[in-house]
Structure 1
Amino acid sequence: MSEETDAIREAITGELRLMDPDVRASPSLSRQLLDPEFVEVGSSGRRWTYEEMVAEMPGMDGAADSGPRYEPSNFTGVLLAPGLVHLTYETTLNGGRARRSSLWRRQSADGAWRMYYHQATPVPPGRT
């Protein structure tokens, strides 16, 4: 596999782990996947920092084994530069759809891929 293919695969794997209820419910596991400089603009328009996201994620949708889960689809990715991947995809949760965009960067200290930036945009009902 090429460096680009490997990097995109690693980013998608990380993205899917962040949707796993066990990871969402565990601040220690989510810290392994979020960059310390992480920022998110959520589908509500709220801006989230690393510390806010780690603290709040256990109570968010998708964090309970018995509750609703994110259903991702249509992943695409591109290696923007060495150690920087941009992903786009869609999710469905409780019947609501969102288009998502994430930047993943590789930490030079440990070689791990972590989400650096994430944005979710709601898709109005009936839109394709």
Structure 2
Amino acid sequence: MSHETDEVREAIAAELRLMDPSVRATRSLARQLLDPDFVEVGASGRRWTYEEMMAALPGLDGTAQDGPLYEPSRFTGVLLSPGLVHLTYETTSNGERARRSSLWRKQDPASAWRMYYHQATPVPPAIA
């Protein structure tokens, strides 16, 4: 269920920017989109902290313009409370699918939306 509010649309736009290879390859741009308290549980099961992600992001999948990119689909979102949006969606990259969930938070009205938490779950080929 999607509740298309301005906040949800802004969080989706930020999520899409974070998938942009030029953003992923540029720490200063990625830093604008990741919350300092960021944590991720990746599709591999690995837990990432903000510092680990900032160090590794330029070398991860989806960074090279000529390499595999993330193709997102089925975005849904809901404003959980003022300044907190939950997004769910799917990605395909290099023939592999994942279901994803992100929490985006905005600390105050003048600040930008930043990803606070992200989780990716691989989808086996036989699952629709």
TM-score band w.r.t. shorter chain:
over 0.9
One-letter identity of the residue aligned with 2:69: R
Structure 2 partner of 1:62: 62
Structure 2 partner of 1:117: 117
Task: State TM-score, norm by structure 1.
Answer: 0.95
How many pairs are equivalent? 126
**Deviations along 1:66-111, whole A, 9 cap, x unmatched?**
1111000000000000000000000000000000000000022742
Q: Give the whole-Å Cα distance in 1 for the aligned partners of 2:8 and 2:42.
A: 22
One-letter identity of the residue aligned with 1:68: P
SS at match of 2:65: coil
Structure 1 partner of 2:105: 105
RMSD: 1.3
SS at match of 1:45: coil
SS at match of 1:37: strand
Task: State TM-score, norm by structure 2.
Answer: 0.95
Structure 2 partner of 1:49: 49
Q: Residues 5-84 of structure 1 correspond to what in structure 2 (within 5 A)?
A: 5-84=5-84
Structure 1 partner of 2:86: 86
One-letter identity of the residue aligned with 2:105: R
1:126 shift after superposition: 1.6
Between the aligned residues of both structures, percent identity stands at: 76
Q: Give the whole-Å Cα distance in 1 for the aligned partners of 2:120 and 2:89.
A: 10
Q: Give the whole-Å Cα distance in 2 for the aligned partners of 1:125 and 1:32.
A: 34
Deviation >2 Å, runs of 4+: none
SS at match of 1:58: helix
Q: Give the whole-Å Cα distance in 2 for the aligned partners of 1:51 and 1:77.
A: 27
Unaligned runs of 5+ in 1: none
One-letter identity of the residue aligned with 1:35: D
**Deviations along 1:22-62, whole A, 9 cap, x unmatched?**
00001110000000000000000000000110110000000
One-letter identity of the residue aligned with 1:126: A
